[in-house]
Amino acid sequence: MDSYITAIGTAIPQHGFSQMQIASFMAEALQLDAPNRRKLQALYRLTRIDRRHSVLPDYGASPGEYTFFPNTPDLEPFPTVGARMERYRKDALPLAVAAVQDLYRTRHPSGFTHLITVSCTGMYAPGLDIDLIEALQLPTTVQRTAINFMGCYGAFNALKTADAFVRADPSARVLIVCLELCTIHFQKKPDDDHLLSNALFADGAAAVLVESEPHPEKPGPSFRLRTFFCDLLPEGKSDMGWIINDHGFEMTLTSEVPTVIRQGIGKTLSRLLERSGLAIEDITYYAMHPGGRKILEVIEQQLGIDPAENRFAYEVLRQYGNMSSATVLFVLKEIGNHLLREPGAGHILSCAFGPGLTLESMILEIVPAKPPVEKTAIKHLELGFRGLKD
């Protein structure tokens, strides 16, 4: 029994800012002098991010107009974990519901049997899963699974879990919701790790439906979950991390991450392809997690592909930044939108990275949507007339 992604929905908060607006906020918050402001602006320009979104309006506000951070020159007293989790609880549910509503535009099944929630930027209990059941009016018998604190590769574990549910029970309909509010965890520290993470991360949500049939009659393709492969690169364990501290969740993201990925990505993807019985020539599209410009460039070098083949990841990075676990699902939706315009079959290779250093990868098979009956009949008539004419 196979499993298929039959619909993807996405949502972003209403507050959107240009990358240079956010750079100005950061320069003020860190109280940088003129030379360091210029360095920060250069870093932000190099990210290839145009715009990011946040549940907080503060990143586009002038000092003195903040609603979450204190209106003091040094932002003190800096928000505590409690204040940040209160904001998470307030803003997580509406954004998650918006992603599911976007999914409904593609496919609205009669009911879900399982709900998987994914997040590394907040938690509470009763949690987002129960809030979603109430908000979406789902049956109270829906089986719930929470995947927390795994970072950017969390969606892969959700998809693997959904795949197992569907293979065990072909009647299962699994709803996955990845919800990340990365921007509530801004850290007021001038070291390189925090400067880099503050330049990349954003808020967003994605919802995915996984079922045992592709439903080719719906608009757009379905994606068969064909193969998964995971590996660890322990030498990069200290280069990417995510800990809870007194003033929020703190990200460690060193400049060595692309180097570590370069050392392991080729072997990981070779084993993924071997397990699938495919070669790199069989891959039609790439859905790479856009963890940052340098990471995407390293992947291209190791796979021997050009940036145009990786364009969907760059487009998501440009429009939204890095939304942690939700981001790769935005990339898959971009590919699905492309296939609506230019239908076709083939395979998608996807991967993401996180603390450990973890490499998650998968291959999806594209199942094209079935053309409407009317168009199919007209096409057959046209072919018949041509045959008579010949």
Q: Which class for 34: exposed (0-12), middle (13-18), buried (19 or more C-beta within 10 A)? A: exposed
The CA distance from 258 to 265, in Å, is 10
Cα torsion for 253, 260, 323, 28, to the nearest 10°?
A: 30
Question: Does residue 281 register a pLDDT over 80?
Answer: yes
**% of the chain exceeding 70 in pLDDT:** 94
pTM above 0.85, yes or no: yes
Q: What is the mean pLDDT of the chain?
A: 91
Among the listed residues 152, 178, 182, 351, the single catalytic one is 152
**Ranges for all domains in the chain classified under CATH 3.40.47.10:** 4-211, 222-367
178 tagged catalytic: no
Q: Domain 222-367's class?
A: alpha beta
CA distance 178 to 116: 8
pLDDT category, 375, cuts 50, 70, 90? very low
Beta strands in 39-158 (DSSP E): 51-54, 114-119, 143-148
Q: Answer whether residue 383 shows pLDDT above 60.
A: no
**Which of 135-139, 153-157, 189-193 has the lowest average pLDDT?**
189-193
Residues 6 or more apart whose CB falls under 8 angstroms from that of 142 comprise 112, 113, 114, 115, 133
154 has pLDDT over 70: yes
pLDDT at 385: 45
Describe the strand order of the beta sheet including 222-232 as a list of residue ranges. 143-148, 114-119, 174-181, 203-211, 4-11, 222-232, 358-367, 346-354, 285-288
Mean pLDDT, to the nearest integer, of 235-251?
84
Lowest mean per-residue pLDDT among 107-116, 125-134, 274-283, 313-322: 107-116
Distance CA 254, CA 261 (A): 12
259: enclosing H helix or E strand = helix 257-276
Write out the H or E segment, with its range, that includes residue 129.
Answer: helix 128-135
Q: What dotted CATH number matches 4-211?
A: 3.40.47.10
Question: What gap in Å lies between CA 310 and CA 330, rounded to an integer?
Answer: 14
Which residue from 336, 328, 371 is spatially nearest to 353, judged by alpha carbons? 328
- Average of per-residue pLDDT across 221-245: 90
pLDDT at position 352 over 60: yes
DSSP characters for 289-341?
--S-HHHHHHHHHHHT--GGGGHHHHHHHHHH-B-GGGHHHHHHHHHHHHHHH
Over residues 39-74, the pLDDT tens digits come to 999 999 999 999 999 999 999 999 899 999 999 989
Is the distance from CB of 331 to CB of 313 less than 8 angstroms?
A: yes
* Low-confidence winner among 6-20, 57-71, 214-228, 364-378 (lowest mean pLDDT): 364-378
Supply φ then ψ for residue 277, to 5 degrees.
70, 30
Q: Strands 285-288, 51-54: parallel, antiparallel or unpaired by DSSP?
A: unpaired
